[in-house]
């Protein structure tokens, strides 16, 4: 493992994107969001994505420095086209539209179509929660066919994330953020590069055999080489049997079909779609019952006797907050294979050896 201090990691990743046609502002924004994913323990959506993003940019699948187009604009609803810009650039624009509409009317919905990879969806729930708003997000990934539905062995779904954010008075928000597959594709990527191993039976091969081997998804690959899920024959499994599979279907239909991105399918240009709605608790609850009831119920929820081997019962967002505090202080640990792949990408786009050495100082 190599451990990179947070400022160094952000500066280094920003330099990579600056060398790949992003403005300095966009490069730093992408670097900050990716590093934040690592800080919260979501390594699958962190800097491990740098080689993938740069490969997509070279292919023309993602376009630097895009400004969203508002296709439909009503007092409570917007349809926003990201024009295949980096998700870290176009998604905050779309979320800001939702926040402003919600503050004006108490309730708003935004359909974001054709966004580049939007990263950790929890970022966008946290952005809304920071403004005191509840938000719910249904996301799909057109062109990314990775997950077998319950009862099947062939890929038919993206990892189709679902996320809810709830603000709390004087505390960090409650953020529920998960892929509807047993693991996100990024966690398979992390495992393939020497990181945390996959849970038992996370993958399924074409013959129905359950597996934890990333080669099931990517096919044969070298330690530092690219990962191409089109080369594998197997799939990631949906979580929770029919329940996760059903929720994934809803994410495809709302995040994909409803937004105009399209539900996923083979031979399509990669794009994230996100259907999100925003609620202002101050207008729903003028008596301010909500905040007190959150506090009461969270305490009641957590006060249950822990099961054997469990220190304490946690609510969504607590593990991330703990990890953020630890990694902010001590740095971000990256498997050697992951760091090597990032460094190779940095060299490909022209980052100097001095900058590479400085990152690990």
Q: What does the pLDDT read at residue 182?
A: 95
35 and 164 share a domain? no
Residue-number span of the structural domain to which 345 is assigned? 2-62+329-359
**Per-residue pLDDT for 224 more than 80?**
no
78 and 147 share a domain? yes
Query: What percentage of residues in the chain have a pLDDT greater than 90?
Result: 92
**For residue range 91-133, what is the model confidence (pLDDT) as tens digits?**
999 999 999 999 999 999 999 999 999 999 999 999 999 999 9
Mean pLDDT of 293-317: 96
**Per-residue pLDDT for 297 more than 80?**
yes
More confident residue, 173 or 361: 173
164 and 256 share a domain? yes
172 and 269 share a domain? yes
Mean pLDDT of 193-218: 93
116 and 259 share a domain? yes
Contact 37, 43 (CB under 8 A): yes
Q: What does the pLDDT read at residue 221?
A: 87
**Per-residue pLDDT for 358 more than 80?**
yes
Mean pLDDT of 77-87: 98
Name the domain count of the chain.
2
- Model confidence band, residue 277 (pLDDT cutoffs 50, 70, 90): very high
The CATH number of whichever domain residue 117 belongs to comes to 3.30.1370.60
d(CA 62, CA 58): 8
254 and 120 share a domain? yes
**Per-residue pLDDT for 75 more than 80?**
yes
The answer to the question of residue 195 being in a domain is no
What value does the mean pLDDT of the chain take?
A: 96
Q: What does the pLDDT read at residue 279?
A: 98
99 and 123 share a domain? yes
163 and 98 share a domain? yes
């Amino acid at each position: 493992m190599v451990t990179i201090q947070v400022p160094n990691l952000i500066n280094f990743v920003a330099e990579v994107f600056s060398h790949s046609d992003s403005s300095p502002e966009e490069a730093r924004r992408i670097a900050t969001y990716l590093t934040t994913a690592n800080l919260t323990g979501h390594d699958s959506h962190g800097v491990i994505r740098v080689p993938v993003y740069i490969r997509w940019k070279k292919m023309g699948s993602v376009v630097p420095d895009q400004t969203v187009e508002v296709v439909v604009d009503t007092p409570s609803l917007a349809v926003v086209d990201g024009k295949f810009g980096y998700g870290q650039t176009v998604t905050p624009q779309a979320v800001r539209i939702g926040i402003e509409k919600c503050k004006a009317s108490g309730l708003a919905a935004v359909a974001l179509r054709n966004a580049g990879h939007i990263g950790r969806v929890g970022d966008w729930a946290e952005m809304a929660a920071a403004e005191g708003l509840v938000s719910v997000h249904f996301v799909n990934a057109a062109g990314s066919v990775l997950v077998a539905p319950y009862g099947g062995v062939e890929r038919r779904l993206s990892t189709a994330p679902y996320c809810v954010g709830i603000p709390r008075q004087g505390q960090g928000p409650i953020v529920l953020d998960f892929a509807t597959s047993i693991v996100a594709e990024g966690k398979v990527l992390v495992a393939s590069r020497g990181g945390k191993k996959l849970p038992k039976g996370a993958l399924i091969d074409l013959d129905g055999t359950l597996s934890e081997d990333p080669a099931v998804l990517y096919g044969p690959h070298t330690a530092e080489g690219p990962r191409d899920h089109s080369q594998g024959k197997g799939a990631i499994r949906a979580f929770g049997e029919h329940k996760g599979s059903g929720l994934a279907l809803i994410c495809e239909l709302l995040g994909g079909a409803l937004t105009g991105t399209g539900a996923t399918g083979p031979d399509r240009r990669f794009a994230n779609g996100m259907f999100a709605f925003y609620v202002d608790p101050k207008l729903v609850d003028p008596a301010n019952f909500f905040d007190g009831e959150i506090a009461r119920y969270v305490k009641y929820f957590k006060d249950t006797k822990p099961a054997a081997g469990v220190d304490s019962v946690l609510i969504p967002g607590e593990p991330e907050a703990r990890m953020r505090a630890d990694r902010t202080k001590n740095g971000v640990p990256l498997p050697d294979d992951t760091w090597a792949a990032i460094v190779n990408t940095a060299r490909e786009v022209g980052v100097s050896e001095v900058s590479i050495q400085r990152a690990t100082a």
